Structure 1
Amino acid sequence: MLRIDKLNFAYGDLKVLWDVDLEVHEGEIVTVVGANGAGKSTTLKNISRLVRPGSGTIRFLGQDLGRLQPHQVVEAGLIQVPEGRRIFPEMTVMENLRMGSYVKGTRGDRERNIAWVFELFPRLREREKQLGGTMSGGEQQMLAIARGLMGNPRLLLLDEPSLGLSPLLVKNIFDILTGINRQGVTILLVEQNVYQSLRISHRAYVMETGRVVLTGQGDELLANDHIRKAYLGM
């Protein structure tokens, strides 16, 4: 579904990504884990065309994304839920959800998708008239994910969905992501919470200083000595 080959990127003179190779197959949850500053979020920004790579190719469903603008990437079915939630704080829950369904070809599915995300996140149904900015951090993260789903993603990109949440809410969010995947949405997840993200992943990539240093199945990496020592404190 998604294939990245030899992706290199720099912010000015600061090289951030070095020959990154990555694949996501349809139906998978694939996670990119690593410490802060490893290049995980920058990889997502390159996929979404929010920044332009120095070299390398990114293909989605066989299409080279190099010539596309960010809105065209979204229209192709590749939707990113950004780090920090980035909901519209002065809009209600329902208005935020409707903003997610202005992608070309999704308006006809709006009401069906609203019903779907309310099943996934009952808390949002209870707060559909509440302003997004008055909600808790966990509720805002639920809203950000739900808004992304309103665009009928073929591949959903999530950037640090556990950031700033309590351990109980983190587990809840990851369990919901597993449920979304089981309903047919392929997921590429960027996370610092190594344990929870590897727990739900089919495959994962470990990034350190802009390079992929390990790859494998989620359960294999959880048992890896380097992962256990460097990220899990074991």
Structure 2
Amino acid sequence: MNAIAIDDEPLALELIQQYAQKIDWLNVEAVFSDALEAKEYLKEHEVDLLFLDIQMPEVNGMQFYKSLDDKPEVIFTTAYSQYAVDGFTLNAVDYLLKPFDFERFLQAVEKAKELIDFRQSKANDEGHLLVKYNYQWQKIAYKDIEYIEALDDYIKIVVAPKPLLVHMSMKVADEKLPSEKFVRVHRSYIVALDKITSWNKNTITVRGKSIPISYTYQKQVQDILNNLMEES
């Protein structure tokens, strides 16, 4: 997995390089203290992942990422925790709050690898979600999934007769599930459209379970549900 790092602090770039050297499958091929130089580099080089500082003197990292035509996966790095929500609205893989240790760094890049590997391999079968559960691969039919809930580094896939706890990020689950069958309604919830029994602006009910709709997803969810009503 090839990456570059962009940060105006030389020590931060050095730390990322040191951590990356401990991971066989991660190659930080270049680092930049100047975002404009990094942008020129990206025009000529294809990378899988960006480590991107948010607060830089000449440009905001989030605005920089939005400006890219071809967007690699991104892990934002910053000393300011107030940017976390904004980072996730840009579909960032993760958000590293400085100073971060190697274990936290490893956790973030493993999430990135999982997502990139999935996109490259297209491992999901038609009509099924393919997950690793109890040390073996298992198919879960889309039609059996009621909703998915985030639980730290795991997701709970609610199916009968009992939910499955799977080591997977919500971002990867969202990528794997077909958008015509599932909708993300909250940072912590994805619901099956055909299992929704009622809804209003702030909540969705899935077979007796009340699930919040966060402000970030409200318009998207309402548009999808309105379209479903028009089609029915």
In the superposition, the TM-score normalised over structure 2's length comes to 0.29
Q: Which entry has the higher C-alpha Rg, 1 or 2?
A: 2
Bigger relative contact order (CA 8 A; separation at least 6): 1
In the superposition, the TM-score normalised over structure 1's length comes to 0.29
